Structure 1
Amino acid sequence: MKKNKLTKMNFSKYFALFITITLFISCADFDRDFEEERYYTSSHAEENNAAGGTVGLQALDGAILSYLRDGESSTDEFGIKAVDLGMDLRSNDMDMSTNTWFGAYNNYDNIILTSNDNEFIWEFFYKVINNANGIINTIPEDSPEETLIFKYKSHAYRAIAYFYLLRIYQHTRADDSTEAIPIDFGDFVGQPKSTVGEVKQLILEDLSLAYNGLENHARASKQEVDASVVAAYLARYYLTYENWTEAEKYADIAMSVGSIESDVMHGFDELSLSEVIWGAEVTEATSEVYASFFSHTSQINDGYSGWNHFKTVNSNLYNMIPDTDVRKGWFADQEYDPGVIIVPGTWGHYNITPKYTSLKFIAEPGPGVFIGDYIYLRNTEFYLTKAEALARQNKDTDAQQVLFDLNSVRDENYTLSTKTGQDLIDEILMYRRIELWGDGVASFDMARLGTGLNRQDGRENLVMPGADLVIPALDAKMIYQIPIAEVDAEN
């Protein structure tokens, strides 16, 4: 059963009250390891109440990160990766074979105001917002820098949540004066809808404040938010709303994190990969097992993907990938019989693997084992963002070079593009679809580009019955209705 609105509000009130206490309490021993905790509970409060300095803030920050990772810890509500997977299943590029978990995303059935999936998305991001507000509103501006760091991080969390909500519940190309979603200021009072422009302004203010505040902050691991993470979301924001110069600027910062991996068949399940900007470590203690991203996407595991719930690539997109491009190996090139070991070193799965099935995401193999880290951001996305932003500014030579810098690592036969203008932009967009397949970007790109859904395009891969839809770009089905629980609360 879903938590009702009152439960959500009480959780956040308690969160805000507790952080106020933690800021002014004397230091005490504090040795609990919160890194693997999923929820902020009363037992956390007891130990935090005895702590001083930033220890309590670290735990609260960790609670938000854990919630982003785990969500409601149920089969299709496992945090931000569940939302990313659901959004990709609404795109032209990812299909599934059977109407099961996530099927309602694929056939657009869950956009209605009474849908459980819809309620999850709404509550998930507003809980992040409420809990970020709990930190933002209780840390004075004249606090020590070590304390303000947590305020800056919370501005980032709040901005990320609003950025998702705004694009899910309103058309990306909607005018700034269009009604969108409520802004929660942390006072737990039902709010009317704010306009697109008002929400965009808050997102940009939060991201800018977070970037400036975290610019000199050195994080301990890729699980934490720092300026590079914020730069990535600034690049996404500016690309979405067509500020090409700023998109170029922040994409350049984000793409400079690490280097591009030459081996793309590693399964994208390790934060240690050089191209990872931000993600979450998943251990045996924190794995949600079947209620996890890899259960739904890792074909060689004993999970939903392997139980005939295949995630497949649009065959038309697959055919666009050059044969010399290693990214073609992300998808099955033929139908494999049961027991055939597709990925070397993994266990022989008992099931078939149809042609075009995803092999991009591979967790630690074995029956009931899903130990794979969650990757939220990779630097390769921002090579493509910078390339597109440059091309939109008619800086074709520079755009060609950035595209080459990425593609030459993925395809040893790739040559510097000679395309210009719209042809170059189209090439960059094609490679965005290939490189970022399954990363939660596809349907958001469709929305910003004004691209409709067309699953009657002659694709040969498995398509879920009833999901062979054609929907125009600005059709009402392309956005979600505000859930009935929120509507009732506002009334």
Structure 2
Amino acid sequence: MKKATNITLATLAAALLASSCIKEADPYEIATEDQVTLETLIEGIPASLVQAGSAGYAQDGQAWDFALPAIHIATESMTGDIAIGGNIGYDWFAQWGTNEALGADYAVGALTWNNYYAWIMAANNVIKQIDASDFSSLDATQKSYLGFAYAYRAMFYLDLVRLYEFKENNYTEAPEVLGLGVPVVLPETTEAEAKNNPRAKVDDIYDKVIFPDLDKAEELLSGFTAPDKYTISLALVYGLKARAWLERGTAKEDNAAYAQAAEYARQAITASGCTPLTQEQWEDPTNGFNSATSNNAWIWGLALPSESVANLFCFTAHMSTENAWSAYGNDACRCINSNLYNSIDLRDFRRHSWLDPDRKDPEKESYDYKSCRKEGKEYFNELPDYANIKFRPAQGAYEDFKVGGAADHPYMRVEEMYFIEAEARAHENLGEGIRLLNEFMNGHRIVGGGYDCTNMSSSVESFTNELMLQKRIEFWGEGIVMFDMKRLDMSTRRGYVGTNSPNSYRLNTEGRAPYWNFVITRGETQNNPVIATQNNPDPSQTVKPWNG
């Protein structure tokens, strides 16, 4: 496994800002100081979120180095819901999937740490350029840019806290870091302060950064209408508030926080005007989960323009089994955990995102899977059972990586808000949570209706387990559910009789996995020595593969 090299956050942030650009620009053009306008800075942030090489390791051939979409594959690989079918040597996310070499000395830690802090610095640079002492004095453009910057910064700190907060588990102990999040870097933080910047308390990060930033973003964007799904909107701000309050509700066992989560989830649904994906949109062989504009469900997504696509450093290369240019997507095919697949209702159209083992049997009735490839269903017969066909090459261009790899990446879909609302309301009124989940499933997922979770929901805990089953199915591969599983102290199970996971991936946990507590990189402990005494324990190999 590749060891980490020393790279400063300031150097990385400068490189990101220099090479990130708006959608139509040359992705490799270096901006001069005069060219770095406020517009360039704000539009550079979403560009950097999908940029190949953003963590500094692409030049070393590390094919996991492609920013936020890669982070989402990494966290998905840690849930136990992904099984690798085929040649595991092509799985560039094996360290996350097998709990190997996840300590401070390994390069993979840079994917989260280096990226998020570079993105935070980019947001800070925008905030620093706008005098925000009086919002009423700002013009409409300044208000929107500042609102975007606060929303981004809250988004990044929310993810960081959820990744790095050490939560108790049955495998590692670190009582000295309980309740600690990550170092906070603000526009006014000096270089000297950054080099002696301890982990802030989780409560302080929520109370002094995340929620205040989201409140400011809400105020600044209250009169703004996003022109497209790639632009931050008020609905996204509400959605981020819903995520954050749900975390607080669980951590504090606080019904008032749950009520806030439910309220903001409903506001996100209303403000977005979005509606859940239909079966036709979900199964679309050309636009399935690769286009923000082909449906009305995405609240916010990221665009990857064709001129910026690196053939092996993009989400489609690793997650799409139909692409013809990357062995990572089909030879190391990402499948669904067979136990999870078998839990999907036969009437649930989401089941069609994975290939049923019975599809090759002429004596059994199989779904008429749709493919963008000219071989059609014949191609699917070559793939492993349970292989995912959820994420399609953009525009169905499975042979041309410049077009097929230029897929939009979903960050927030309106469906998540329905799940948050149902979970949060159940803590106030279990019957209301049951009603909301039944209503969503019957109205949007179960063909012909008939879903009823009442008998599976004798308590809030049992209801939440059923809701999480449906949420894991809904957002498989999208980078959503690891945060929920960590929050709820859920177990994972990839080792069992009949498992479709390779030997080294067969990890079972009792309660939350220790590797969901991410380890801070050696580069940061060298640059900011106080962190060295506050790091999370190395979880590597603390959970051994099940061997039957």
1: CA distance, partners of 2:26 / 2:517:
30
Residues 6 and 522 in structure 2, CA contact (< 8 A), matched pair in contact too: no
Residue pairs, 1:253-332, within 5 angstroms: 253-256=267-270, 257=272, 258-262=274-278, 263=280, 264-266=282-284, 267-272=288-293, 273-302=295-324, 303-332=326-355
**Structure 1 residues 368 and 384: alpha-carbon distance in aligned structure 2, compared to 1, 3 A threshold:** same
SS in 2 for 1:469: coil
**Structure 1 residues 71 and 134: alpha-carbon distance in aligned structure 2, compared to 1, 3 A threshold:** farther
SS in 2 for 1:137: helix
Shift of 1:344: 3.5
**Structure 1 residues 284 and 40: alpha-carbon distance in aligned structure 2, compared to 1, 3 A threshold:** closer
Q: 1:439 maps to which residue?
A: 478
Shift of 1:221: 1.4
Shift of 1:335: 7.6
Residues 152 and 213 in structure 1, CA contact (< 8 A), matched pair in contact too: yes
Q: 1:147 maps to which residue?
A: 142
**Structure 1 residues 110 and 382: alpha-carbon distance in aligned structure 2, compared to 1, 3 A threshold:** farther
Give the aligned CA root-mean-square deviation in angstroms.
Answer: 2.9
1:205-246 Cα deviation digits (max 9, x unpaired): 212221222122111211111111111111111112212101
Q: 1:158 maps to which residue?
A: 153
Equivalent position amino acid for 1:196 in 2? V
Residue pairs, 1:88-487, within 5 angstroms: 88-97=76-85, 98-99=88-89, 100-141=91-132, 142=134, 143-145=137-139, 146-171=141-166, 178-186=179-187, 187-188=190-191, 189-190=194-195, 191-201=197-207, 202-242=209-249, 243-256=257-270, 257=272, 258-262=274-278, 263=280, 264-266=282-284, 267-272=288-293, 273-302=295-324, 303-334=326-357, 343-348=370-375, 349=379, 352-363=382-393, 364-369=396-401, 370-397=405-432, 399-415=434-450, 417=452, 419=454, 420=457, 421-422=459-460, 423-458=462-497, 460-461=499-500, 463-473=501-511, 476-487=514-525
Provide the identity percentage: 22
1: CA distance, partners of 2:223 / 2:144:
10
Give the gaps of 5 or more residues in structure 2: 170-174, 250-256, 361-367, 530-548
1:122-178 Cα deviation digits (max 9, x unpaired): 000000011111111231123513213212211111111111111211235799962
Equivalent position amino acid for 1:473 in 2? G
1: CA distance, partners of 2:236 / 2:387:
31
Equivalent position amino acid for 2:314 in 1? S
SS in 2 for 1:279: strand
Equivalent position amino acid for 2:292 in 1? L
Give the gaps of 5 or more residues in structure 1: 19-32, 49-55
Residues 266 and 417 in structure 2, CA contact (< 8 A), matched pair in contact too: yes
2: CA distance, partners of 1:464 / 1:67:
34
SS in 1 for 2:306: coil
1:293-348 Cα deviation digits (max 9, x unpaired): 111111111223444111111111111111111100010112878xxx95334233
Shift of 1:400: 1.3
1: CA distance, partners of 2:27 / 2:202:
32
Equivalent position amino acid for 1:259 in 2? T
2: CA distance, partners of 1:345 / 1:15:
35
Equivalent position amino acid for 1:92 in 2? G
Residues 235 and 248 in structure 1, CA contact (< 8 A), matched pair in contact too: yes
Match of 1:70 among 51, 60, 63: 51
SS in 2 for 1:261: coil
Shift of 1:287: 2.2
**Structure 1 residues 79 and 448: alpha-carbon distance in aligned structure 2, compared to 1, 3 A threshold:** same
2: CA distance, partners of 1:489 / 1:474:
31
Q: 1:488 maps to which residue?
A: 526
2: CA distance, partners of 1:411 / 1:305:
32
1: CA distance, partners of 2:447 / 2:150:
41
1: CA distance, partners of 2:95 / 2:114:
18
Shift of 1:407: 3.7
| Length-normalised TM-score, structure 1 | 0.86
**Structure 1 residues 418 and 454: alpha-carbon distance in aligned structure 2, compared to 1, 3 A threshold:** closer
SS in 1 for 2:129: coil
Equivalent position amino acid for 2:392 in 1? I
SS in 1 for 2:398: coil
Q: 2:10 maps to which residue?
A: 9
2: CA distance, partners of 1:269 / 1:284:
13
2: CA distance, partners of 1:268 / 1:474:
29
**Structure 1 residues 365 and 179: alpha-carbon distance in aligned structure 2, compared to 1, 3 A threshold:** same
Shift of 1:413: 2.8
Residues 102 and 519 in structure 2, CA contact (< 8 A), matched pair in contact too: yes
Q: 1:52 maps to which residue?
A: none
**Structure 1 residues 104 and 447: alpha-carbon distance in aligned structure 2, compared to 1, 3 A threshold:** same
2: CA distance, partners of 1:450 / 1:356:
27
| Length-normalised TM-score, structure 2 | 0.78
